[in-house]
Structures are given as structure tokens and as C-alpha cells.
Structure 1
Amino acid sequence: MNRAIAEKRGRRGEAMAAWFLRFRGWRIVGARVKTPRGEVDLIARRGKTVAFVEVKMRSKAIDLATAIDAYRLRRVAAAAEILLPKYGKDTENMQIDVILVAPWRWPHHLQNVWHG
């Protein structure tokens, strides 16, 4: 698949994930935040919790089963370490979440998936 198409699909998935999180009571405080260690797709807060969210969009729901792996989660966790002082002020909990998005399905929110 062409890179521009993949980029557009990724942005659409992130927009859907952000909408889904807002619907569930989260406030989006950052999107596509880059660090030297990696990028975090979404940063969301709800109460005293901050979530660093990796979003994966696939054209077929069956492909979501292999969309996330330990390497990607380590990258998000490394970036979250750098970003926590800025985005985690006044929080008590930090978590790494994944949102899986496929057409014509509700996003699937996996909470607190990294315990490295």
C-alpha cells in the first residue's frame, strides 16, 4: 500500500479513536506526539489517570489480531516515560492503552496493556 494512503488511513483511525475516548469520558490532551524514542498516537486524561494510546487501524477486523506487538508497546512506553512529566502532572495513574479500529465496527479499547 502506498505511504500516503496508509498515512490517511492512520489519521482517520486516530480521529475515530479520539472520538471514542471522548464518548467514554476521556479528554484528549495530545495527538501524534513525537519524542526521540518514538511517537504516541493519543494522550488522554480522565480524572487522575493519563493514558498513552497506540491506535491501530486495519481494513479488515481479522487483521487487528496481529496489529500490535511487544516492540510497538515498548516504543510507546519509552515515549511515555519522556512525556509523563509534561502530560502526567497531578495524576496518580499512568497506563499504556491500545485502540483497535476497523471499518463498520466499534473501536476495541485495550486498557493498561503494558507492564514492562
Structure 2
Amino acid sequence: MAEDLDLLAEKIRQVDDAILQVRGRAQASEGLVIVESDAYGAITDLRISPYAMSADADRLAGVIVQCHRTARQRAEAEAARVHAQLEANARRTAAPAAQAPAAQDWEEPAPLRITFGI
């Protein structure tokens, strides 16, 4: 039981470590605004060119929000892909290949006789 919990905890750590490395990135207006997000939606990098800073504040805010939304969606999609791949790898290593049953497992120990009376 304790070994199962340890294995589960290790699996959770591996998944979390892999997900923490995932980033999504989006840009607007040929790189005037660049937003990078992690899989949890936190902005990990934000770059705004001096030219973009001279734009209307509401428009700039809208561009940043849209870039963040796109970056977050990309990071979430990549995190889902990474998680699915880790799950598939875990299933492949955890489940040994099924072996076909031996012939004696399929056969009855003694043949069955069907008898009936008239």
C-alpha cells in the first residue's frame, strides 16, 4: 500500500514537473506585443515594444488580453498533450504484454458426454 502511494506521488511529481515546463506564446502586430503563459494561465513573459506603448491605452490593453488568452490556450493544449503522452508511457511500462492462455487452460480436463434417455 505504501509503495502504491509512493508510486502515485512520484507520478504526480513527474506530471507536475513536465506541466511546469510548458509554455504558450502569442504575439500581435508582428511582435509589438508578446505574451507567454504557463499551463496554469500565469503570464511568464510580457514584452511590449515602445511603439505599442504609444497606442491608445484601451486598444493596447485589449491586444494584451487577447494575446494572453491565445498564449494560455496554447499552453493548456500543450499541457494536455504532454499529460496524455505521460499517461500513455505509464500504461505501456506498467502493463506487461498479455500472454495467450496455454492450450490446457482452454480445454476441459475430461470430455463432456451428452447423454439422454428415451
How does the TM-score come out when normalised to structure 2? 0.26
Structure with bigger helix share is 2
Task: Give the TM-score taking structure 1 as reference length.
Answer: 0.26
Q: Which has the higher strand share?
A: 1
Q: Which has the larger radius of gyration?
A: 2
